[in-house]
Every structure is written in structure tokens, then in C-alpha cells.
Structure 1
Amino acid sequence: MAMAAIAASELCTSILTPKISSLAHFSPSLTRTRNLLLLGHHNWKQRPAKRLVIRAARIQSKAVPLKSRAPNFEVMFICNHCPFVIHLKRDIVKLANDYDRKGLATVAISSNSIVTHPQDGPDFMAEEAKSFDYPFPYLYDETQEVAHAFGAACTPDFFIFKKDGRRPFELSYHGQFDDSRPNNNRPITGRDLRIALDCVLSARPISIPQKPSIGCSIKWHPGSMK
């Protein structure tokens, strides 16, 4: 999880702003709001830097030096209650563990409104992370600005960023986990995401079509407009 913090820090540095003063640090006791210059979308060009606010569930991690180099990076938008996420949850954990050993950093974000879906809030996220032994930071996007910045539309939704030396992060994949859905009787394989990750980690072009993810729509705050 420390490497995910490095990647989040460097990703936002390269996409949103030329400077960053501190590295996000996730700890077992952290539930309060922290400022994190987090992430971005591949179409960000000359948009002004913006400080986004997230909250971290109570999950274990440790600090890392600011000068540490960022790895390739996966961002996924998930939540606790969505049947499409529940269907994949154990396989998402397995994939994250498999690719952590290959040098991939992963972070999960929940952007759902807790006004309409309190079960998706940070306290329940912490329980979920512990129950499924999440090997990645599980963050709460309280303002929903991170989801807007990415153009995330549903849960689950997967983004892979590649990092080539000192060049900025580049979005390489935005799509589904695989073709399995609740009740469609197709086996869960993670095929699409695994092929995309293997291509990125071996510096090859992604060799499959990028199919949009299908799932539950992100639950926007009442009265807000996407």
C-alpha cells in the first residue's frame, strides 16, 4: 500500500500540479479528512490544479520517502453495496495480490453519497477492507470531485496508468474486469484487466478492445449534477 501512496502522489503531481508538498500517508487510525492532490483524468491539459479531498478507511500502511519512484498504477472505483462489485470482490483482491508482486500499485476509491447509501461510507469501508483483507488503500471521495475528474460512471470501473521514467503518467486502459456479471453464468477470470496489465507491465500496446465496465451507477449527492 505504501507504493500506491507513492503512485497517487506522483500521478497527481504529473497531471494536476507541478509541485506537491507531502505524501499521502494511510494508517490504521486515519478516518479524518486529509488533503491529497489526488489523481486526474487523461484529458486534463491546461486545467488549473485543484486540491481534492478524500478520506481513508482504517487500513494498515506505512510511510515512504517522498523521493521514491512511482510504479505503474491501477485505480478502481468500487463500493460496498453494489452487486457487480460484490460479484468480483474476492477476485479483485486476488488480482491485486498477484500484480503487487509484479510491481503494480493499486488504490480503490468509493465515491457514493452516504446521504443515500450510508453503507458505502468510511466506517463501513474500513470493516469491508478488514473483512476481505484488502491489500490496497480504500479511499472515500467525500466531495465526489475525484469521480468527476476521472469521468468514472459506475462501480466497478477500472483505470490503468503506465509510468515511463520521468514522463507523466499515461492512461493506458479504462474498462471492465471481464465479461462475468451477476447471474450471467460466465466464470470470473479477470481476463480483460489481466491482459491489459500484462501489456502495460511488459511495455507492449494493449492487445484487446477496451470494453466499458458495466455495474451500478455512482450514487451522486442529492441535488448534484454529474
Structure 2
Amino acid sequence: MARTSSNMIPLGTAAPNFNLKDTNSNNTYSFDELKGTKGTLVIFMCNHCPFVLHVIPEIIMIANDYRVQGIGVIAISSNDIEKYPQDAPELMTEFAFQHKIDFPYLFDETQEVAKAFDAACTPDFYLFDASDRLFYRGQLDDSRPNNGIPLSGSDLRSAIDALIYNRTLKDLQKPSIGCNIKWK
């Protein structure tokens, strides 16, 4: 498993808009239709990455904890499904059902959305404020597959709390680490 770090794009960057098909509902959505009233968490992920499989329970808990507080949650898969058929839309639907993902899991077939976000790995986390400006980008926490550190979501949870409660982020934002996005 290749370890790729996320690209740490500048804070304050505007959220790219998109129109992508949700594999849970078969509806097409834009960023504006899915964003939250207080902020929006965009997660680039896929079905087969061991880093995603390691953190998916915490992602689900974070989504459930914060959506009721006005945070929109959006997952996007941008992998090349010709080379990685396990990430195909119909398998994304199964993955979402299996893991009880009830937020949109969008398929970026052209990979243009991943490029617009400068996404590099799975999982890759982007937290935007209510004005659609990047507030946090980086890791969920220090846990990785087989490193013995338990999942906590501490880095991302601290960022979301700071956003919701209008606090300044004090900690250094560390890049996420995961599998590289499978480019065409």
C-alpha cells in the first residue's frame, strides 16, 4: 500500500463547485445543494483503500455527530474504475450500505473534481466554513493501519469544533496519509 500525503492547499481557498451523481440515491448534486449551514466536510475516499477501511467507522461517527450541528458531509470517489473496478459506482452503493453511510457518496468519473480540489489521497479531508472557504485540510488523527494508535478523529473533530464555535485553530494542520488517487 503506497503512502501518499495530501496536498496542503492554502486555507481560505474557495470550495470548487461540482455536479456529481450520488451512488446512494442516483441523484446529481452540486456542492451548493449539499453544503451545511455552518460548514461542509468533503472527504475523498474509495471502497478498497486500507486507510479508508481503517477510518470509516470514525468517519461515520463524525458525520452523525456533526450533521445535526449544521455540518454538511460529502464523500467523493475519483478513482479510475477501469483499472480499479472495485471502486465502480454500483460497488460504492454496496459499500455505503454495508458501512451505513447515509450521506452522499458521489462518483467523480472524469476526475475533474479531484483535480479542482487538488486531492491526492484517500482519505483526504477538506473542511469549508459557512462562506465556502477552506478552514481545515489534513488528517483525521494520528491513527494508521497497524500503527497501534486508536482512532479518535481528534484532529478533524477539533477543527470542526473550532469552526462551529468560532474558535481559532491553534494546532498545526498535518496532512492526511493514504493511498494515492488512482488517476487515469
Q: Shorter chain as normaliser: what TM range? A: 0.7 to 0.9
Partner Cα distance (2:40, 2:57) in 1: 20
Match of 1:170 in 2: 133
Give the TM-score, by structure 2 length: 0.84
Q: Which amino acid aligns with 2:21?
A: R
- 1:101-124 C-alpha deviation (Å, 9 max, x unpaired): 222110000000001101111100
Match of 2:178 in 1: 215
Look up the SS of the partner of 2:72 in the other structure.
Answer: strand
Look up the SS of the partner of 1:173 in the other structure.
Answer: strand
Match of 1:145 in 2: 112
CA pair 148-183 structure 1, distance change in 2 beyond 3 A: same
Deviation, 1:140, is: 0.4
- Work out whether residues 74 and 159 of structure 1, in 8 Å CA contact, stay in contact via their aligned partners in 2: yes
Partner Cα distance (2:64, 2:46) in 1: 19
- Work out whether residues 53 and 142 of structure 1, in 8 Å CA contact, stay in contact via their aligned partners in 2: no
Partner Cα distance (2:19, 2:34) in 1: 23
- Equivalent residue for 1:126, pick from 73, 88, 93: 93
The answer on 1:193 being equivalent to 2:136 is no
Where does 1:20-169 land on structure 2 (aligned, <5 Å)?
Answer: 43=13, 52-59=18-25, 70-71=36-37, 72-163=39-130, 168-169=131-132
- Work out whether residues 55 and 142 of structure 1, in 8 Å CA contact, stay in contact via their aligned partners in 2: no
Q: Which amino acid aligns with 2:65?
A: D
- 1:36-95 C-alpha deviation (Å, 9 max, x unpaired): xxxxx9546xxxxx985532203499x9xx999941110000000000000011111011
Look up the SS of the partner of 1:215 in the other structure.
Answer: strand
Rg bigger for which structure?
Answer: 1
Give the TM-score, by structure 1 length: 0.69
CA pair 144-202 structure 1, distance change in 2 beyond 3 A: same
Q: CA RMSD in A?
A: 2.7
Deviation, 1:157, is: 0.4
CA pair 219-135 structure 1, distance change in 2 beyond 3 A: same
Task: Tell which has more relative contact order, 1 or 2 (C-alpha 8 A, sep 6+).
Answer: 2
Partner Cα distance (1:124, 1:67) in 2: 24
Partner Cα distance (1:97, 1:193) in 2: 14
Aligned-pair identity (%): 47
Runs of 4+ aligned structure 1 residues displaced above 2 Å come to: 41-44, 50-55, 58-61, 66-70
Q: Which amino acid aligns with 2:150?
A: P
Structure 1: gaps (5+ residues): 1-40, 45-49, 222-226
Look up the SS of the partner of 2:119 in the other structure.
Answer: coil
Partner Cα distance (2:179, 2:34) in 1: 36
Aligned length: 170
Q: Which amino acid aligns with 2:168?
A: P
